[in-house]
A = this chain, B = another copy of it.
């Protein structure tokens, strides 16, 4: 579907990069340089890509620049107690910008922090000192969630793109068809000829790559179902 044409051979460098992307990126934010270094080493050793930031602001700045965004699943592993910007606060801000899953961690903090973290949507809350097994279990879940979200987004984008190639009339007809209306009724409702409805219907199904009515129904359901009230 969305396969970009491969024009040149893949270099070994790109090969390695691709492997890392597939595994995923872990973005670590902690104000303790020692921990940062240790986590960086540990995470790369496990085969994930890893970026580290000493503060939430540093990460946000990097996000602003936005150059060369990492392709593939990603997650955030962020300390709760940070200077300037709190881990919880960072999470709240990210929730509106980004849908990267967030793992929060903290040393010997109380229940309230953990509760706040989960209420704010953190995927997990890790207590320092970090246990390798627990850490990577959480990272695995987070990256899996990220991958799922990205697949879902890609699917929706692809669908939206195909929907965008339809003309207004075609979309309208397709929508009604997918709601179970008959060609005749659609023609009457839109005040156009039966033949015209048939044409739009065919055209729409062709553009959307729907071989059967059932496919059309599924496509349109998927397009407008989860949130997006387009169409």
Interface residues of A, Cβ cutoff 8 Å to B: 106, 108-115, 118-119, 124-125, 127, 178-180, 211-215, 217-218, 221
Known contacts A111-B111, A112-B127, then 9 further A-B pairs from the complex at CB < 8 Å, ordered by chain A residue = A106-B111, A114-B118, A118-B118, A119-B124, A180-B212, A180-B213, A213-B214, A217-B218, A221-B221
Query: Do A180 and B114 touch across chains, with their CB atoms under 8 A apart?
Result: no
| CB neighbours of A127 from chain B (8 A) | 111-112, 115
Give CA–CA (A113, B112) in the complex, Å. 11
Complex: chain B residue closest to A80, CB-CB: B111
Q: Across chains A and B, which 3 residue pairs bring their CB atoms closest together, nearest first?
A: A180-B214, A180-B212, A114-B114
Give CA–CA (A113, B109) in the complex, Å. 12
Query: Do A180 and B109 touch across chains, with their CB atoms under 8 A apart?
Result: no
Query: Do B180 and A211 touch across chains, with their CB atoms under 8 A apart?
Result: yes
| CB neighbours of A179 from chain B (8 A) | 214
Q: List, sorted by A's number, 13 A–B pairs whose CB atoms are closer than 8 Å.
A: A106-B111, A109-B111, A110-B110, A110-B111, A112-B127, A114-B115, A118-B118, A119-B124, A179-B214, A180-B211, A217-B217, A217-B218, A221-B221
| Stoichiometry, copies per complex | 2
Give CA–CA (A108, B111) in the complex, Å. 8
| CB neighbours of A125 from chain B (8 A) | 111, 114-115, 118
| CB neighbours of A215 from chain B (8 A) | 180
Give CA–CA (A218, B106) in the complex, Å. 46
Kindly identify which residue among B111, B211, B218, B221 contacts A114, using a CB–CB cutoff of 8 Å: B111
Give CA–CA (A113, B115) in the complex, Å. 10
Complex: chain B residue closest to A125, CB-CB: B115
Nearest CB of chain B from residue A185's CB, rounded to whole Å? 11
Nearest CB of chain B from residue A35's CB, rounded to whole Å? 18
Give CA–CA (A214, B214) in the complex, Å. 7
